Amino acid sequence: MQTLSESELLTRDSKRDLNAELLESIAEMKATPPSLRKTEFIPQADGLVRRLVTLADGTVLHNELLTTTASARLQSGFSQARFAKLMGISIRTLQDWEQGRRSPSGAAKTLLRVAEKHPDILQQVANG
């Protein structure tokens, strides 16, 4: 790939019509039918949940076991925002737990196991 100098970039960009390029891009997106994706959450025997994402042609995009945190939240039926509020944590912390970047503390792990095995209890807590 050719690397352009600053002056070459400025010259090239001065000749572009970004509005026309954006409109053309939007027209192309509208003309192309969206990829059909199907997401399934499949409970596993060990209590975790498998997330399977496939395209209409059967191509598998994702096939992964979710963390206990994600599994508990999905089984409860809550959004990330609602689940985080019930847990008394920030959405960012919940996202870090779900994506495996951080791990919950001992007390939070216990609460997550309860939420995962008994999502009805979390519903009761949410309803007051």
Residues 75, 41: Cα–Cα separation, whole Å: 9
pLDDT digits (tens, 9 = 90+) for 80-117: 999 999 889 999 999 999 888 888 998 999 989 888 88
Beta bridge pairs of residue 39: 53
Diameter of the chain measured on Cα atoms: 64
Has residue 63 got a pLDDT over 60? yes
Torsion of CA 106, 102, 47, 83, to 10 degrees: 90
Please, what is the average pLDDT of the chain? Answer: 83
**Range with lowest mean pLDDT among 3-7, 77-81, 120-124:** 3-7
CA distances from 59 to 52, 55, 64, 82, 97 (A): 11, 5, 15, 32, 28
Domains and CATH numbers, the chain: 67-128 (1.10.260)
- Residue 84's pLDDT is 93
CA dihedral over 102, 115, 117, 38, signed as positive or negative:
negative
pLDDT digits (tens, 9 = 90+) for 41-60: 888 887 778 888 888 888 88
Is residue 102 classed exposed, middle or buried when 0-12, 13-18 and 19+ CB atoms within 10 A define those classes?
A: middle
- Residue 33's pLDDT is 60
